[in-house]
Amino acid sequence: MTETSNQVPDDKVTIEIDGQTVLADKGSMIIHATDRHGINVPRFCYHEKLSIAANCRMCMVDVEKAPKPLPACATPVAEGMKIYTRSKRATSGQKNAMEFLLINHPLDCPICDQGGECELQDVAMGYGRDVSRFVEGKRSVADEDLGSLVASDMTRCIHCTRCVRFLNEIAGTDELGGIGRGDRTYIATAIGQGLDSEMSGNIIDLCPVGALTNKPFRFKARAWELMATAGLSMHDGLGSNIYYHTRHGKILRAVPQKNESINEAWLSDRDRYGIHGLNNDKDRITQPMVKKSGQWNVISWDDALRILADKLKNTAPQEIALYAGQHATSEEYYLLKKLFKQLGSDQHEHRLTHVDFSGPYRAPRTDVALTDVAKQKNIIMVGTYARHEQPILNHKIRQAWLHGAQINAFGPCHFEQNFDLNLDITGHQLAWVEKLGSLAVSLSEISGQKPDGALGEWLSQQHADEDINSLAKKLLKKEEGALFVVGQIANRHPQANLINALVHWMAALINASVNEVVDGANTMGAALNGLYNDQDIKNNDHTVNIIYQAEIQDFAEPAKIKECLINSEMTVVFNAFCDDALKARADLILPTTLLPESSGSLVNNYGQRQTALVAHKAPGESKPGWRVLRVLGNVMGFDGFDYEDVYELMQETEKLKTLTSENPVLAKVNQLKVKGLVLFPHHGIYDGDMLVRRSAPLQESKLATADTVYVNPGDLVSIGFAVGDLVSVEQNGRYAELTLATDDAVPASSAVINMGRDSSLNINAGELSVSIIGAQS
Amino acid sequence: MFQIVNPQNKEKSHLHLLTDETKATIDYWLNKYPHEQRRSAVLGALHAVQDQNIGWISTELMSAVSEYLDIPLVWVREAAEFYSMFHTQPVGRHKISICTNISCMLRGSEKIVQYAENKLGIKLGETTEDGRITLVKEEECVAACTGAPMMIVDGHYHENLTEQSIDEILGGLD
Ligand code: SF4
Ligand code: FES
Ligand code: FES
């Protein structure tokens, strides 16, 4: 089709690139047009997701009537512009830029980790000279220790500033900068403090040369030895798209796979380095094992499944309970549900991270698609540290903020954010919920509307707050809409039902949307398959407990589940890992594989169903969970367990209905009395699942937590211990040995304990009263 | 400002290092810019802390500036390391910057540098043992080309330098 000028829309201009007439957006750069039309222009500093710096000068193109070659990334298109990307003038501009870039760049590709996948190497092959004219010495730059995730070889840096711009614009943490000037400029952190960002690994992908590389992957393999397998992250509810790079069936590293609707071009560090937990042999189960008079014996799969089937057959159905972790595949959940239906038991639960089971089960509500979070004008974060819960969600919130959104937060602590908060309302676990109540009180007073029932009664005891009142007024104008993001701190709260009821009532009043942040990669899949119960099944006695792809650390109430397991006759663990804490309470262990080792589908927080393929060879006799369940179903003599392969199963899980979220039912408010300090059970970014807990690079990084209890400095005197003291934290007669620390960000009367760690296995998130006493040992 | 991380990874505040006078100067500069552009006050702030700290800016002071302005520390360091008027290492009581840019170079600045170096017994970038004089590492053109060769002593321009005038100027410093 030929385009004539009278058809050109207002926002477009007609330009000609290498003789081809194309339309380009007004105000866009030449490189946008060449990229859209698949015309290759070499570049180093330009990146479609970052601002334009135009400092490498590699993208020179020849523009008719211009006196000299122009950088394509920084030259806006104009009507009638004629551009030549391969003319003599263009290529000589590119060649000259290349020669300048190579003046100080070492020519030692064979010993560089980036060799074989280096943009500089690739472009130099095309544009560089075979022999360098440069005989003078090259400069060298001292390397910096950037932490356990990113390795640096700063001598190789070509000062494109992509890393600087990423950390400024996307991560919002600004750790790197250009220090010095002229030919002595180098890229460094301010004081050698390393990288703090939860997204820091992305600078590895962005760096066009070998200056920033993947530290745990360093010198492990060459790019051409690797195979790429498309996979999904199992560490948060987004299912970020990943390419696993494998060699001989072993994952060596993870890189992002572009998906504009989820992770764009990024990966959080958790998604990038979580896989290193897979290669950690500690606690890895490779063969079925049974405990006989306190001793573990290896047995065959046949025997193991026969033992289990016998036990199941001889146990009353309601005596059998299932606790399913939240990152298994939908296919496994599907078979588990089938199994339990035919057993006749409804004692199954996937919400291991919940403690408030006071209302009937309700599916998480997500009104706003992930990409649209960035378009919100008002965001109210309720009990969430999105930055650690779903780093990519936080990235979208930050994008919204960059575009002028107002962000407010209610929670148990002043979390460090990479955007400004309008209000950061904090208080101990009970107090911040009351502050959220203050928002509802203001909304209620101004609008004249009142919730009824238990919520109305509770609200009548709450008070308005001056600061919060202004927010209520703004929200009631309803002009810009609002989004409540209810997070994992709320999920784990003993008044979760109250929080949800409050948020739903407010959202209905002001026409706001609600997004609830789920805890696991496939919480939605487990919910779709109905693996829940209206009550807390931990309160019922069971003879047989099945723990499926979970560890005790995954429970919000580890102490409580330990009790349950001890009091049962048999505990069966289906998992890839089994640590001592679980082994002590297990009787039968079946080695099943984790996500990168098995195929299946996941449904993310936003209802997107995605599939992943096997990327990693599981050790020993481990088997994918769906296979084990299939055989178990058959041994039990149940119907409908004859699947040839996982694809056949996937066809069935694909047909599962989507979830509809009901309004919370609040029959009665959990009125809680606290003695001593109020617990805030904090979940560190790298304490959330069995892989990140075992990933050495993540555990050595700056965001890793410690065996610490944090209090407000003002409470130190009444506690009677000093910072750094080893103390015992007592909760209902159970103790956790922790180091005492203080932080202004912790509200008064609060005690913050890092959950998901061995040191907190005696602490239940739901019991808020704790006290700090002298060390027991 | 909080991430519940290992306590040993937490950075300490350096705000207390700023004197009231320095804070007042920084406030003066902050007032000139809208809040979103407070980064612009970094030069004024760096001058203030440099004056407060006998002529040089320590990393702790950079941290203090970054905290006070509420901007990333690396922005402060970028500015401090970019400009030759800021010193990030201890300096002498007097700072001498000899211009070596093109006009001064054509008018013999290399000889001037050599003479000053020999006289003081130090190289560019170094400080005399008695802590009296620092020869600033480099100085770009300061727009005094008509009086080349030239140097700046503690902020004052001295032009048309000769060996004799250098003797006089250096001799007059305490
Ligand atoms: S380290 Fe890499 S990304 Fe950063 S400026 Fe240097 S070459 Fe560019
Ligand atoms: S890509 Fe255009 S100047 Fe670097
Ligand atoms: S070159 Fe020395 S002042 Fe201009």
Distances, alpha carbon A32 to alpha carbons A14, A26, A28, A40, A212, in Å: 14, 11, 7, 11, 26
Mean pLDDT over each residue of chain B, to the nearest integer: 91
Give the mean model confidence (pLDDT) for residues A706-718.
Answer: 94
What's the CA angle centered on A366, arms A364 and A371, to 5 degrees?
A: 145
Q: B31 CB contacts (<8 Å, ≥6 apart)?
A: none
3-state secondary structure (DSSP) of residue A737: strand
Lowest mean pLDDT among A73-87, A407-421, A660-674, B95-109: A660-674
Q: What is the pLDDT of residues A134-154, one digit of tens each?
A: 888 899 999 999 999 999 999
Q: Is the pLDDT of residue A391 over 80?
A: yes
- CA proximity to A690, closest of A585, A623, A592, A767: A592
Instruction: Confirm if A679 and A709 have CB atoms less than 8 A apart.
Output: no
Lowest mean pLDDT among A78-82, A709-713, B4-8: B4-8
Give the mean model confidence (pLDDT) for residues A753-766.
Answer: 96
Percent of chain A with pLDDT over 90: 90
Q: What pLDDT was estimated at residue A450?
A: 94
| Identity of the amino acid at A371 | T
Q: Is the pLDDT of residue A112 over 70?
A: yes
Residue carrying structure tokens 């004859």: A642
3-state secondary structure (DSSP) of residue A78: coil
> Rounded distance, CA A336 to CA A351, Å?
15
Tokens representing A494 are: 């003993």
User: Quick one: which ligand is closest to A56's CA?
Assistant: 2
Q: Quick check: bond before B149 cis, omega within 30?
A: yes
Tokens representing A729 are: 């934290």
Q: What lines the ligand 1 site, CB under 6 Å? A: A 157-163, 187, 206-209, 211-212
> Rounded distance, CA A623 to CA A628, Å?
7
- Residue B4 pLDDT level (bands cut at 50, 70, 90): very low
> Rounded distance, CA A213 to CA A157, Å?
11
- The separation between CA A341 and the C-alpha centre of its own chain, rounded to angstroms, equals 33
- Residue A182 pLDDT level (bands cut at 50, 70, 90): confident
Q: Is the pLDDT of residue A98 over 60?
A: yes
Please compute, for residue A234, the number of CA atoms within 13 A of its CA located in the half-sphere on the CB side: 30
> Rounded distance, CA A500 to CA A516, Å?
9
Instruction: Confirm if A113 and A151 have CB atoms less than 8 A apart.
Output: yes
**Which candidate from B9, B10, B74 shows the least CB-CB separation from A190?**
B74
- CA proximity to A453, closest of A363, A366, A354, A359: A359
Name the strand (E) or helix (H) holding A289: strand A289-292
Q: Do A190 and B7 touch (CB under 8 A)?
A: no
Q: What is the pLDDT of residues A341-361, one digit of tens each?
A: 999 999 999 999 999 999 899
Distances, alpha carbon A372 to alpha carbons A48, A242, A404, B70, in Å: 20, 22, 14, 30
**Which candidate from B1, B4, B59 shows the least CB-CB separation from A684?**
B4
Beta strand A320-324 pairing with A348-349: parallel
Q: What pLDDT was estimated at residue A6?
A: 62
- Residue B2 pLDDT level (bands cut at 50, 70, 90): very low
Name the strand (E) or helix (H) holding A95: helix A88-103
Ligand 3 pocket, residue B103 CB under 6 Å: yes
Residue carrying structure tokens 């339990």: A340
Please compute, for residue A101, the number of CA atoms within 13 A of its CA located in the half-sphere on the CB side: 30
Q: What is the pLDDT of residues A630-645, one digit of tens each?
A: 999 999 999 999 999 9
Mean pLDDT over each residue of chain A, to the nearest integer: 94
- Residue B3 pLDDT level (bands cut at 50, 70, 90): very low
Nearest ligand 2 atom to the CA of A56 is 4
Instruction: Confirm if B95 and B83 have CB atoms less than 8 A apart.
Output: no
Please compute, for residue A247, the number of CA atoms within 13 A of its CA located in the half-sphere on the CB side: 10
Q: What is the pLDDT of residues A569-619, one digit of tens each?
A: 999 999 999 999 999 999 999 999 999 999 999 999 999 999 999 999 999
Q: Is the pLDDT of residue A534 over 80?
A: yes
User: Quick one: which ligand is closest to B151's CA?
Assistant: 3
Tokens representing A501 are: 């009821």
Q: In what order do the strands lie in the sheet with A513-516?
A: A423-426, A406-411, A378-382, A483-486, A513-516
Q: How many CB atoms lie within 10 A of CB A337?
A: 18
**Which candidate from A193, A413, A746 shows the least CB-CB separation from B11?**
A193
Beta strand A320-324 pairing with A544-548: parallel
Instruction: Confirm if A450 and A443 have CB atoms less than 8 A apart.
Output: no
> Rounded distance, CA A459 to CA A446, Å?
14
Q: What pLDDT was estimated at residue A453?
A: 93
Q: What pLDDT was estimated at residue B121?
A: 95
Task: Please give the ipTM for the structure prediction.
Answer: 0.87
> Rounded distance, CA B13 to CA B31, Å?
23
Q: A132 CB contacts (<8 Å, ≥6 apart)?
A: A102, A107
Q: What is the distance in A from the centroid of ligand 1 to the CA of B58?
A: 26
Q: What pLDDT was estimated at residue B76?
A: 96
Q: How many CB atoms lie within 10 A of CB A183?
A: 9
Instruction: Confirm if A595 and A612 have CB atoms less than 8 A apart.
Output: yes
Percent of chain A with pLDDT over 70: 99
Q: Is the pLDDT of residue B9 over 70?
A: no
Lowest mean pLDDT among A66-75, A91-100, B9-18: B9-18
- Residue A775 pLDDT level (bands cut at 50, 70, 90): low
Q: What is the pLDDT of residues A7-22, one digit of tens each?
A: 788 899 999 999 999 9
> Rounded distance, CA A695 to CA A146, Å?
18
Q: What is the distance in A from the centroid of ligand 1 to the CA of A159?
A: 5
| Identity of the amino acid at A673 | K
